[in-house]
């Protein structure tokens, strides 16, 4: 991708007109090549965000205004790439598909899903998070994202403390019509 950087446009509208480039690829190009704060919203990021903040309304994550607005605000940071990695790493290692490892999670104090499970007194699995050379973690108490590398902690700021949104706080917009 970096080798083609000169030939790829730097706007979403132009990128999405190119064959084979949809929302996710366009976001990846804008984020990695042009350092624009774009969210890499896939099923893993949507799972983490929906568990933490609450569920989306539309089946298609590309067109869900709540999820799109939420993810954009979360990665709106000078270190957007690291914030994206933090959320994706959390989803891969802790907030897994299936049973999340909530007792290992630095976000659990504010997590909607965790609070609901605790209220229902559902037993949570205790498991160790796999060791990794670098693990980007979304932290909770400081309301920032942290990047942990071999015990050291690097702060990656993200304004996600402002994101105590509810579904009703985010205006709904119509999904783009599909070509007939
Ligand atoms: S507390 Fe559990 S559900 Fe919530 S973000 Fe962490 S792992 Fe996911």
The pLDDT of residue 132 is above 80: no
Of 102, 116, 163, the one to substitute when testing ligand 1's pocket (max ligand atoms within 8 A of C-beta) is 102
Average pLDDT over residues 110-134: 64
Instruction: Name the one residue in this structure whose structure tokens are 């799972």.
Output: 47
Residue ranges in 75-143 assigned as alpha helix (H) = 80-93, 112-119
The pLDDT of residue 12 is above 90: yes
pLDDT at 83: 86
pLDDT at 109: 85
Among the listed residues 18, 7, 145, the one whose alpha carbon sits nearest the alpha carbon of residue 76: 145
Give the Cα separation of 83 and 92 in Å (integer): 14
Give the Cα separation of 180 and 177 in Å (integer): 9
> Which CATH number among 2.40.30.260, 1.10.10.1100, 1.10.3470.10, 1.10.1670.10 corresponds to the domain 37-160?
1.10.1670.10
Q: Which residue ranges make up each domain of the chain?
A: 37-160
Q: Label residue 124 by pLDDT band (50, 70, 90).
A: low
Burial label, 52 (beta-carbon count in 10 A; 0-12, 13-18, 19+) = buried
Kindly state if the Cβ of 47 falls inside 6 Å of ligand 1. Answer: no
Q: What is the pLDDT of residues 41-97, one digit of tens each?
A: 999 999 999 999 889 888 899 989 989 998 998 888 888 888 898 888 888 888 999
- Name the DSSP class of 137: E
**What is the Å distance from ligand 1's center to 26 Cα?**
28
Give the rounded percent of residues in the chain with a pLDDT score beyond 70.
Answer: 62
Q: For residue 104, which atom of ligand 1 is closest to its CA?
A: 7
pTM here?
A: 0.72
Among the listed residues 173, 139, 130, the one whose alpha carbon sits nearest the alpha carbon of residue 158: 139
């Amino acid at each position: 991708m970096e080798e083609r950087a000169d030939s790829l446009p730097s706007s979403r509208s132009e990128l999405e007109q190119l064959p084979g480039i949809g929302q996710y690829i366009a976001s990846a190009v804008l984020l990695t090549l042009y350092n624009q704060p774009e969210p890499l919203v896939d099923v893993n990021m949507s799972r983490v965000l929906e568990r933490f903040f609450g569920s989306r309304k539309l089946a298609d994550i590309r067109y869900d205004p709540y999820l799109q607005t939420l993810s954009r605000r979360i990665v709106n940071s000078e270190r957007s790439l690291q914030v994206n990695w933090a959320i994706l790493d959390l989803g891969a290692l802790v907030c897994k598909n299936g049973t999340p490892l909530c007792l290992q999670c630095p976000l659990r104090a504010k997590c909607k899903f965790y609070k609901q499970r605790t209220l229902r007194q559902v037993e949570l699995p205790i498991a160790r998070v796999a060791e990794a050379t670098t693990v980007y973690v979304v932290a909770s108490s400081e309301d920032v994202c942290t990047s942990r590398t071999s015990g050291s902690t690097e702060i990656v700021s993200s304004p996600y403390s402002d994101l105590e949104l509810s579904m009703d706080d985010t205006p709904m917009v119509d999904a783009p019509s599909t070509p007939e």
